[in-house]
Amino acid sequence: MAWAKGKPAVQIDLGSEASLRDPAGYFAAAREGGDIQWSDLHRAWLVLSHAEVEAGFRDGTTLSSDRTGPLQRVAASRSAAFERVVELLSGWMNFRDPPFHTRLREPVRSVFTPRAISALEPEIRSIVAGTLDRFDGDVVDLSQAFAKPIPALVIAAMLGVEGEERHRLQRWSDDLSSIVFAITPGEVDEAPILTATEEFSDFFSGLIERERAHPSRSLLSAIIAVDDSDLTHLELIGACTLLLFAGHETTTTLLINALGLLLERPQLAAWLRDHPEADATAVDEFLRVVGPARTMVRKVAADHERGGQQLRRGQNVFLSIAAANHDPAVFERPAEIDLERDPNPHFGFGWGLHFCLGATLGRLEARIALRALLERFPALAAEGPVSPPRASALGFGRRPLLARLGQEARSQRDTAS
Ligand code: HEM
């Protein structure tokens, strides 16, 4: 398609069905109009090449992640209680710029070491096995019965949350997601968010007190114990809620999207089942092609030039992970799903300043969960047509995800009982 630079023939829509069906083709055509383009549709600068998205992720000076300003403006037109929500979200490092960001990130980063994460492996394996044991009947909705509970249980275990309390966390987190993912937070219903914030705060306050009095081996205990941590009590609660939130919604969606792909393409599932040595590269390829995060939003903090365009303070910038992950300048045959792709410098976990602190954990969970499911149910197959993916500019997911476990698996279990 021959487009004049700066004049795309078709309006780019980051949430369109076409961008989901054929991202490599869609974004190649979109990039004809330039690596950075203004979009009237999104009212934002769209950043579309791998190089420019990477530069955007690295820049915490002229591009800002700070959301406290907009939230405070929303709070001004809300009840006084809404101030509490703003306070809580202000402790979320992903919504802050340096130096606040650094102060919030450092204590968490220092305990989220690859070593500490690999120590969680036995617990993750047992959570996954327990989840598979609870499958009921031959047809299951893998999104509800598998992808949803596993990450929530893992993160709860990591924070030292026990038994029934884990299920309450799930509900609060669902309620809070309406504000976190709202592009126009002024329009969301306030009541469930206020309740969730209040209950969340009380719950984590108690948990933090308990961990202070009787330190356990949980990662929360380790964060509290970081010597030079000067996090306030509210910031610690913010860190807990962020970890809970960031850690399970995304991993759930990654599992759903990877399984959706495997059910749609049984030959891919069969190949992966026979090649456990490719588990790690496969998870990264899933992150590249069906990763839950499609776009990261930034604000222009100061007028500057970027990729030949003049950006003005206050404008929105959309770093398109989906476009960067299909850029042929970096990925050979970007349209192809190659479960052994290596290296694979995708931006599924972001990059630079705000690079995902849970990347090691997310990868580990996905590896263990997918392998266990494929091995326990060798005849796993889609039940009816696989539900189509749904995308917005920001994210990508699908549900329900109905699968038939297969006669073989059922008879194995029957024999076992
Ligand atoms: C497969 C699952 C996951 C995906 C796809 C994912 C994706 C991302 C992305 C794209 C960012 C960058 C945000 C930005 O640039 O503004 C991010 C940040 C973050 N993620 Fe994850 N994440 C996943 C799992 C996790 C887990 C398991 C945890 C924790 C237990 C976690 C904790 C965080 C935190 C704390 C940040 C903020 C980092 C900062 O702002 O400095 N994530 N994640």
Which positions ≥6 away from 411 have C-beta within 8 Å? none
| Paired residues of 403 in beta bridges | 140, 382
Q: Enumerate the β-bridge partners of residue 304.
A: 311
Total domains in the fold of the chain: 1
Q: Which single residue is written with the structure tokens 């069905």? A: 17
What's the predicted TM-score (pTM) here? 0.93
Q: Is the peptide bond before 151 cis (omega within 30 degrees of 0)?
A: no
For residue 288, is it within any domain? yes
Pull the structure tokens for residue 156. Answer: 């709860």
CATH code of the domain covering residue 193? 1.10.630.10
Residue 253 CA to ligand 1 center (angstroms) comes to 13
> Is the residue at 5 inside a domain?
no
**Counting atoms of ligand 1 from 1, which one is nearest the CA of 291?**
5
Number of neighbours of residue 211 by Cβ within 10 angstroms? 20
Cβ distance 158 to 219 under 8 Å?
A: yes
Return the half-sphere exposure (C-beta side, CA atoms, 13 A cut-off) of residue 26.
18
- The CA-to-CA distance between both ends of the chain, in Å, stands at 61
Domain presence at residue 264? yes
Atom of ligand 1 nearest to the CA of 293: 10
Written as one letter, the residue type at 8 is P
pLDDT of residue 47: 98
pLDDT at res. 119: 93
Which of these, 187, 169, 166, 167, lies nearest to 178 by C-alpha position?
Answer: 187
| Domain-embedded: residue 402 | yes
* Domain membership flag for residue 12: no
Ligand 1 centroid to Cα of residue 181, in Å, is 14
3-class SS string, 351-368 = CHHHCCCCHHHHHHHHHH
pLDDT at 106: 92
Using CA positions, which residue lies closest to atom 38 of ligand 1? Answer: 354
Substitution site in 223, 244, 250, 364 for ligand 1 pocket (most atoms within 8 Å of beta carbon) = 250
Which residues form the pocket of ligand 1, taking CB atoms under 6 Å from any ligand atom?
A: 65, 93-94, 105, 155, 242-243, 246-247, 250-251, 254, 291-293, 296, 348-350, 354, 356-358, 361-362
- Kindly give the number of the ligand 1 atom that is closest to the alpha carbon of 254: 1
Q: Is 141 a domain residue?
A: yes
- State the distance from the centre of ligand 1 to the C-alpha of 355, rounded, in angstroms: 7
Q: Considering the domain boundaries, does residue 81 fall inside one?
A: yes
Range of the domain at 354: 17-416
HEC letters along 227-250:
CCCCCCHHHHHHHHHHHHHHHHHH
Q: Distance from the CA of 287 to the center of ligand 1, in angstroms? A: 12
pLDDT along the chain (417 residues), means of 10: 47 94 97 96 97 97 91 81 84 93 93 93 96 95 94 89 80 72 64 82 90 89 76 88 87 96 97 98 98 96 97 97 98 98 98 97 98 96 92 84 78 46
Q: Is 118 helix (H, G, I), strand (E, B) or coil?
A: helix
**Can you list the alpha helix ranges (DSSP code H) found in 214-331?**
219-225, 233-264, 266-274, 279-290, 321-324
Q: Has residue 8 been placed in a domain?
A: no
Ligand 1 atom nearest residue 321's Cα? 10
